[in-house]
Structure formats: structure tokens, C-alpha cells
Structure 1
Amino acid sequence: MVKLICTLGDHRDDVNCCAFSSSYLATCSLDKTVRLYHLSDFNELPYSPLKGHTYAVHCCCFSSLGHILASCSTDGNTILWNTENGLKLAVLEHPCRSPVRICRFSPDSTYVVSGAADGSVNVWNVQSFKVCRSGSVKDGSLVACAFAPNGSFFVTGSSCGDLTVWDDKMRCLYNEKVHDLGVTCCDFSLQPLSGNVEGVKYIQMASCGQDSTIKIWLISFADPTGFDMKYKCTLSGHAAPVLACAFSYDGQTLVSGSVDKTVRIFETRTWSILHTLTQHTRYVTTCAFAPDMPLFATGSMDKCVNIWQLEPNQHFTGSALREEPKISVDNWSEEEVSVWLSRHGLQDLVEIFKRHNIDGKELLSLTKESLVGDLKIESLGLRGKVLRKIEELRIESACLGIPDEFLCPITRELMKEPVIAADGYSYEKEAMENWIIKERRTSPMTNLPLQTLILTPNRSLKMAINRWLETQPKYNEKQSP
């Protein structure tokens, strides 16, 4: 579940950005102000709002320890504020007085990067308040920026649609146009992907744009072997330009906001949509997660900031996830089939499937013969992989009609021997026993310690499952060997 816990309506104009530290929430607006709130109760601090900009404030961000807040504006200034008292520490003036659209601290807070409307990138030393490095992109305004978790490089996005990757010496490592009509935001997952090889780390980055899509990128980097950035998949749930995206602190959730006035929550294992939030009445311009807690904020042109809580039974804890029912594969569009192909490393087949108008229903009906004869897929290995993934989809589709309470939270499969654990939840006996054997003495659902490891058979639930199965001949047929 996602719960709206607070709405802040103090700004007098569009909210452009929001950011969290471990203690505070900062918001900024077209009304030229920056506002600060306590994270404990969301009461505004006594010295808020911060008034130092003479034009709209586009972005705000905290240093790693939260002692400094940076904000940037159309007035060409990036202001550093002391969060303990709201006083200015420095005013960093853009060398050409160009409007500054984005600012970000490096992970160690030694530097703050600012990107401007003239395409320039300036790296400021936070101690001396001087520009130590600078660069520029060929075209467009800089409107997005994100640092890699280890600080070895950062990414900028432009209004022309380019993503540019810079190393710590301002050398360009990568540049490509990735979003038609412009990039709007980008963010890194703080958690590396599993399956890293020694010396190489893999991280995910999300970018979003005016083309109404979110794109997921896989980045590998290792010293001294270099840097590599590859496209992974496209998320196309929004019906209008996507203005913001942000990963949760644990990397297991991605939130986005759009011109379609919605906020969408994706889980990053399968990139399925968990929730669509519709409480904002105008464009959603910003979203941000709090560090180390399941809280996130969304801001909008409706002048409001909404604070949301991801409740434990909706969030990943270990390998368990409670989800809303997924959209049936039968109802997938051609675009959703393309996303599915990309997610499973089958990007080379996207154009072939699009040419043949393969939607969800057609996907499930594909056979070895149709892959060879109709789609002309010659590679035996590629055909085998497609058929295996389609079979997995068929099994998943069979599970969609099952009442959620009949599915084990760990395996997401129909329970045969349900047992009740000390956390009050029911699990498949074998799955929970394996969970405990691996020295996990916490609840898969709440992540809290289990007071006892005793598992009690849930006979009433087993009877209910058996009664349901008697009414589901189609399900039984699919499970037959």
C-alpha cells in the first residue's frame, strides 16, 4: 500500500523541486523561495522560507550530511545555505549570468555541479566557492544531473535530448541523444546490481523525457578498464511527458511524475507498475525519496507537495514482495511486448515483433513453427530463449486470477501447505523453512525480528484454497504435466 501522509501547500506558485536529507525536506518554487520542513512532523522551520533568489528557483539539493542546502535559479545564482540557521554561506554566480537550471552535490560533498541554460557545466569547490572545472554541451540547456554513487563520474541531460557522462576531470565519457524533444531528469540507483564480476560494478540509471518514456540504463565501470553504458529497457506507462524520476534508497522502487498529472511507482525487479497515484491536479514536476526510509515526496504545478509512505507490505523486504495484480499478458499492447523483450535481453527482436504487430495475445500464441516461418528468427538459441520466456509468461498468467491471499509472499505461487509464522502472515511451508535455514530470522514481510521460528499449519486457508481449486478446471489443466 501507498499512503498519503501529508500535503504541504505553502508555496504560492508551481513547485519545481523537492529534496530530502536525513532530517529535513526542502522544496523550491517559481515563487522565488525555498522552504524547509522537519522530517519528523513536516512542520516548517522557523527561518523558512529562504529568500535570496530574485527569480524562479528551479532546483534544490542537500549535501551528504545535510548541513548545506544548494538552490539554483533563473537569476544565474547557485546559493549555498546553512541548514542549521538558514543563513547564506555563499552565492555562486554563473560566469556568464546564464539561468541555472540544475545543481547537485558530489557524494562526498566536496563539489557542487551546476548546469545552465547556455549548456555550460560548472564544478564548484565547496570550500573555496570557486569554479575548479567547467565544460559545455553542444546544444540545448542543461536540465538534469546525477552523480554516480561512488562519485567517479556524473551525468547531465539536455533539453535537446542528450545524455552526457563526465568523469571527475570533466572528460566526456559518453554522449548520445536518448530522448526525443529533451531529457527532463535522471537518477542513479544507489544499490549495485547483483552478479558483479571482480573489479567491475554494475549500476542502473533512469532517465526520462519529453517523449513520455523512462529509459533504464546499465552502466559498468572499473579502474583502469574504463566505462560502458548500455540501454536496458523502456518504461512507457505515462501518457504524456515524464518530468521527474527517482530511485528509492534500496534501489527496489522507481517513482516518476508526469504531465499526465499522475505519479507511477515501478518495482525494479520486473519493472511492472505497482501503483498509479492521481492526487495531484496539475503536472507533476518533481519526486524524491528520503534516505533510509520508505518515504517519498512529489511536487506539482498545483503548488502542493505530497508526502507518501510506502507501507511495509508493499515494499521489497528480502526476496518477498506484495504486489497489486499485474496486467494480464492478454491485454499487453505492442509497446508492452517491446518492453518485455528488452527486459529479458531480447532487444534485437523488438523491430521484428513490431513489424508483425505482436501484442500480448499474439505473444502467448507463438510457437517454434511461427518463430521460424512467420518471424524468420533463424538463431536456434534465440528461438529457445523466446520460447522459454513465453512459457514463464503463461505460468504467470495462470496465477493472475488467483486470490492474492492464496499466494505465498515469498514465491508468489499458489500455496499447497500454508503455515502461519510469528509475524502473522501465511507462507508456503517449504519456502518459509528455506528462508529460516538461510539464517534469516526476520519476517519476509516486515523485516522485523521473528519472536519464534515455530510454523503453525493454516488449515482453514488450505481448505479455502482447495475449495477454490475445485472451481478452477482451467487452472488445473495448466498445471497438469
Structure 2
Amino acid sequence: MSSEKMTSFTLRQGQLFDAEVNNIELNGQARRRKRQVPALQMTSLICTLQDHRDDVNWCAFSGNLLATCSGDKTLRVYNTRDFSELPFSPLSGHGYSVHCCCFTTCGQFLASCSTDATTVVWSMASGEIEAVLEHPGRSPVRICALSPDSAHLVSGASDGTLALWDFPSKQLHRTGGVNDTTLVACSFSPCSQVFITGSTYGDLRLWDLNMRQLHAEKNAHDLGVTCCTFAPSILSGGQVVQFRLASCGQDSQLKIWAINKFSSGGYRMQLLHTLTGQSAPVLSCAYSSDGQLLVSGSVDKTVTVYDANSAALLYTLNQHERYVTACSFSPTAPLIATGSMDKTVNIWRLEDGCRGSDGKPVSGKSARTSSEGRTSAGRSKLLVGDWSEEDVSAWLVEEGLEGLVDKFTANNIDGTELLCLTKETLASELHIESVGLRNKLLRKVEELKTDSVCSGTPDEFLCPITRELMREPVIAADGYSYEREAIESWINTKNRSSPMTNLPLLTTLLTSNHTLKMAIGRWKISH
């Protein structure tokens, strides 16, 4: 994910606040209507990880990894392709229970904090310890968070102290905190310039990078905050900037807040929704990477998934045997991980219309590993670029090119690779010596390209820059969705202006629009 520090905001006087908030809400609703996509259909449990020997305290995704931490003093790291544990896992460097873990945006490093009063930084290339950051005062560290630009790491302790670290150098930058409370929650804003903390007092406090307190929301949750998380997107209307925040607590409530920065340089929090879908204290919450969904885990053993914009309850999941202590969305796949005091981590798939021929959801294993038994008619419902290696092999047999199956299988040629084949790659990489066979294959591929052209594509599925069907849609700061490669190229060459409005982009941070990606996937299957 591309991310850089957000430019400073120039805002008008605070008296305009209420009018501007209305502006933001109207603009935000209009933007959401433009991006509206069909609702998700269902979820399915595809995998249960049972490697920890004590309560699971936290789970976190990177682009291709899942990390979990536990009271057993270890972290475990899994490949999200098949949820196999990495060779260097488990990570054993803490002396006591590990409370929290988080990845850098690129997934190169993992940070974890513990009762042993340290925050440890791990290399995800080797599993080796890169740095051990000792918390000032040697108090147990209960929470840690990395900024989206990976420039800063903050840790909060049981004595109420905060430590802000310069992450590249691993040097302590600032200290601060709140007296006589325990800090148990923390999250950076998507612009990386401010962060929020939650405590057992029940308050939410907003801080800048100089450790100045910008706003305090007292009694945000009766009996204490348990978790808080910023939504990944930034809303703007007029000259006011708004963030969304979710928080949960011992009061059995999940709340959605608007945090507005206005002209005087001050901030104000406004409660938008109070969600009461769970009957006991809510211990964890997380936004999806596109900000459209919100998940929470509770002492009542349930996991709930909400539409983050309308606050509508979409699912209640009941598979854990004890308190659900952790939850996280994958930034790159339709997956949720939930951790529990039952020592397990459940992996849930948000179904996007991918069903078997009997109309039932495809099992996790078959959805991940094969399309065995798929008929030609079933394969034809997919765009060629979405074909698996098995689909390509079946097509070769149908076209009388069965002699190439072994070569294609050995080189892992799927639909995307098939469409990229050239005379040069066929000769030099696949070692197909016959000129006639190479030409025949390329003609068949061109026929596939022609046959797979779809008409009537919904306009919201097309990238505004390329006008092609999006494969990796992302949301930019202007609120519009683009193909990732196209908007990254635009930002690098067009002086950071919006392709749709020509106005400056407040940040170059891009957020995966996974809801739109799934909607496009459903549309491709049905067409």
C-alpha cells in the first residue's frame, strides 16, 4: 500500500464547524452512493488454527501473512495462501504474555509488546529480532501501534505512560501519558499525523506526534475502553477533514465516531452510531481495508460484522467456545481472523458468490487449492485472467494441445500468464521448438481474448483513468476508486492531483477497496 505523510491542513475558524460537518456528511453520503455495491452474501469458516497453548490476545494481517500472539509468550506467523506456519515460527523472544502485534504497511517487519515491558521488532524475512525497545519506567506494555507510513511506533503501558518511537532508527522520540490508568488501546490515523489511545478509565484521547493532547473524550465507554481503531479513509468537505473511528468497551457497546479537525487547529469528536449487537463486553474491533465493514469480538463468544456506513448488523458468527479477544481483516483477501481465550484462531471467508454446482458455498480447502471437476461450461463463466492452472490445462486438452500440458503445469501457467504469452517466451522459457505449434497456440490465445470481451460492464467497475475493468481497486483521498497501478502512476507523474476533480490530494495514501473487488468478482462470475 502506498503511504506518505499527510500534508498539513489549512482550515477556517472553528465557528464554521457544525456547518462543515453537515457538508462532510452530505459529501460522504453522495460519495458512498456513487461507490455503492451489492451487499455481501454470507461468511464461512474455512480454517481453525490451534497452535497456541494459552489465550490468543491479538491477530494482525499483512498483505500475505497472519500473525497471532498469546499468553504462551509466543507469536506465530502464517502464510495466508494456505495458512501454513512459516519455518521460523513460533517467535520466542518475550519473557511474559504477548498482548499485541502489528505489521508495518509493507509487511517487512512485525512489532509485538508484552508484560515483560518491551516492544520487540521482528524481521519477516528471517524471523530474527531487529530491535528490543524497552518501555520507559519498565512498566508492562499492553498495546502498540505502527503508523501507516511506518515512520513511528507508539506503545502504551499499564502505568498510563506512552512512548513514541522513531521506527526507522528505533530511537525513543517522545514520552507522555495519563496518570493512574492503564492504556489498553491505540490506533494511528490514516494520515499518520495523529493517534488515539483508550484506557481503563473509559476515555479516548487524541495526540499529535509531539505528544500533545489534542482532544479528550471522557467516559467514551463506561467501565473502560478495550479497543479502538481508525477507519482507513479520510473524508473531506469544503475545507474540513474528517476521520472515522470505532471503539468498544466494557459497556458491551461498539461505537462509531467522527473526528473532525477544524480551523482553529482543534479537534472535536462526534458520536455517530452506538452498536448493541453483542450482549457482553466487546473486547476487539477492526475495520476492513476499504472502511466499508466493521468486525467486533465479545465476551459473549460471538463475532459480529457490520456495514460501517449504515451501522447495520450483517452477520453474527458463533464458533468460538470462550471470549473473542481479537479480530482483524486481511487487506488483500476477503478474510477475517478472530482469536479467542479458547486458544484458537478462526479464519472466516466473506463469500462473494463463489459457490459449487449444488449452490452451496465452496469449502475453504477447495476454494483455495483446486477447481477439480469443473466443467468447460463452469470455466467459461470466468474471465480467462481468473483461470487456475487446472483450467488452463483443461483448455489445452479441449483445443487439441494436450502435448503442452506438462510444460504449462511445470511452469505454473494460469489464466493471467496464458494471456501474457509471446513467441519469445514460448521459445525461450517454455522451450516449445515447433514454430507451427507456437503460432497455433498464440492464435488460440487471441481467440480467447476476443471471446472473453464483455459488454455492458457497470461503469463503477471501470477505472476512471484506464476505463478498464479493475482488478485491484483502491480508494484515493478524493473518495474515488481506481486501479492501483493506474492511480500510483498518476500520482507519480501528475503532481498529486485528483484525476476526477483536479484538486490536490490531501494524502497519497491508497486503501484497498475490497468490497468493490468482491462485487466485480461476483459480476465476472455471472457474466
TM-score, normalised with respect to structure 1: 0.66
Match of 1:145 among 172, 186, 196: 186
Q: Distance in 2 between matches of 1:169 and 1:71?
A: 23
Match of 2:60 among 19, 32, 39: 19
State whether structure 2 residue 206 is matched by structure 1 residue 165. Answer: yes
- Give the direction of change, closer, same or farther, for the CA distance of 1:13–1:442 in structure 2 (3 Å limit): same
Contact 2:214 2:266 in 1 (8 A): no
**Ranges in structure 2 where 5+ consecutive residues have no aligned partner:** 1-41, 355-451, 471-515
Q: Give per-residue Cα distances to partners, 1:144-203, cap 9 Å, x unaligned.
A: 00000001100000011111100111110111221111100001111234xx32332222
Q: Distance in 1 between matches of 2:347 and 2:257?
A: 28
2:224 alignment partner AA: G
Match of 1:57 among 98, 118, 126: 98
The aligned counterpart of 1:400 is: none
Matches within 5 A, 1:198-217: 198-217=238-257
State whether structure 2 residue 233 is matched by structure 1 residue 191. Answer: yes
Matches within 5 A, 1:178-327: 178-193=220-235, 196-221=236-261, 225-313=265-353
| Cα offset, 1:433, TM superposition | 8.5
Secondary structure of the residue that 2:304 maps to in structure 1?
strand
Q: Give per-residue Cα distances to partners, 1:405-438, cap 9 Å, x unaligned.
A: xxxxxxxxxxxxxxxxx999xxxx9xx9897999
- Give the direction of change, closer, same or farther, for the CA distance of 1:436–1:283 in structure 2 (3 Å limit): closer
Q: Give per-residue Cα distances to partners, 1:99-151, cap 9 Å, x unaligned.
A: 00000111111111000000000001223322110101133100000000001
The aligned counterpart of 1:447 is: 520
Match of 2:117 among 65, 76, 88: 76
Q: Distance in 1 between matches of 2:336 and 2:469?
A: 25
| Cα offset, 1:21, TM superposition | 0.7
| Cα offset, 1:448, TM superposition | 4.2
The aligned counterpart of 2:85 is: 44
| Cα offset, 1:311, TM superposition | 1.6
Q: Distance in 2 between matches of 1:132 and 1:214?
A: 32
TM-score, normalised with respect to structure 2: 0.60
- Give the direction of change, closer, same or farther, for the CA distance of 1:129–1:236 in structure 2 (3 Å limit): same
Q: Give per-residue Cα distances to partners, 1:303-352, cap 9 Å, x unaligned.
A: 000111112259xxxxxxxxxxxxxxxxxxxxxxxxxxxxxxxxxxxxxx
Contact 2:136 2:163 in 1 (8 A): no
1:183 alignment partner AA: V
2:120 alignment partner AA: I
| Cα offset, 1:227, TM superposition | 2.3
- Give the direction of change, closer, same or farther, for the CA distance of 1:438–1:299 in structure 2 (3 Å limit): closer
- Give the direction of change, closer, same or farther, for the CA distance of 1:239–1:438 in structure 2 (3 Å limit): same
Q: Distance in 1 between matches of 2:524 and 2:340?
A: 43
Contact 1:442 1:448 in 2 (8 A): no
Q: Distance in 2 between matches of 1:288 and 1:83?
A: 19
1:206 alignment partner AA: A
Flag the structure with more relative contact order, 1 or 2, with Cα contacts below 8 A and sequence separation at least 6.
Answer: 2
| Cα offset, 1:208, TM superposition | 0.2
Contact 1:442 1:449 in 2 (8 A): no
Q: Give per-residue Cα distances to partners, 1:62-83, cap 9 Å, x unaligned.
A: 1111111111000101101111
Matches within 5 A, 1:422-437: none
Contact 1:262 1:277 in 2 (8 A): yes
2:50 alignment partner AA: G
- Give the direction of change, closer, same or farther, for the CA distance of 1:435–1:65 in structure 2 (3 Å limit): closer
- Give the direction of change, closer, same or farther, for the CA distance of 1:223–1:20 in structure 2 (3 Å limit): farther
Q: Distance in 1 between matches of 2:336 and 2:453?
A: 26
- In percent, how many aligned pairs have the same letter? 53
Secondary structure of the residue that 2:85 maps to in structure 1?
coil
- Give the direction of change, closer, same or farther, for the CA distance of 1:286–1:121 in structure 2 (3 Å limit): same
Q: Give per-residue Cα distances to partners, 1:206-229, cap 9 Å, x unaligned.
A: 000000001110012257744222
State whether structure 2 residue 219 is matched by structure 1 residue 177. Answer: yes
**Number of paired residues?**
339
| Cα offset, 1:86, TM superposition | 0.6
Secondary structure of the residue that 1:53 maps to in structure 2?
coil
Matches within 5 A, 1:375-414: none
**Ranges in structure 1 where 5+ consecutive residues have no aligned partner:** 315-421, 455-481
1:110 alignment partner AA: A
The aligned counterpart of 1:108 is: 149
| Cα offset, 1:38, TM superposition | 0.7
Secondary structure of the residue that 2:201 maps to in structure 1?
coil
2:275 alignment partner AA: L
Q: Distance in 2 between matches of 1:216 and 1:447?
A: 28
| Cα offset, 1:253, TM superposition | 0.6
Contact 1:146 1:188 in 2 (8 A): yes
Match of 1:117 among 153, 158, 161: 158
Q: Distance in 2 between matches of 1:125 and 1:452?
A: 46
| Cα offset, 1:262, TM superposition | 0.2
Q: Give per-residue Cα distances to partners, 1:217-266, cap 9 Å, x unaligned.
A: 00122577442221112101110000000010111110000000000011
Secondary structure of the residue that 1:10 maps to in structure 2?
coil
Matches within 5 A, 1:341-352: none
Contact 1:190 1:249 in 2 (8 A): yes
- Give the direction of change, closer, same or farther, for the CA distance of 1:453–1:140 in structure 2 (3 Å limit): closer
Q: Distance in 2 between matches of 1:247 and 1:286?
A: 13
Q: Distance in 2 between matches of 1:35 and 1:169?
A: 34
Once structures 1 and 2 are overlaid, which stretch shifts more, 212-221 or 123-132? Answer: 123-132
Q: Distance in 1 between matches of 2:285 and 2:128?
A: 30
Contact 1:17 1:27 in 2 (8 A): yes
Q: Distance in 2 between matches of 1:182 and 1:116?
A: 15
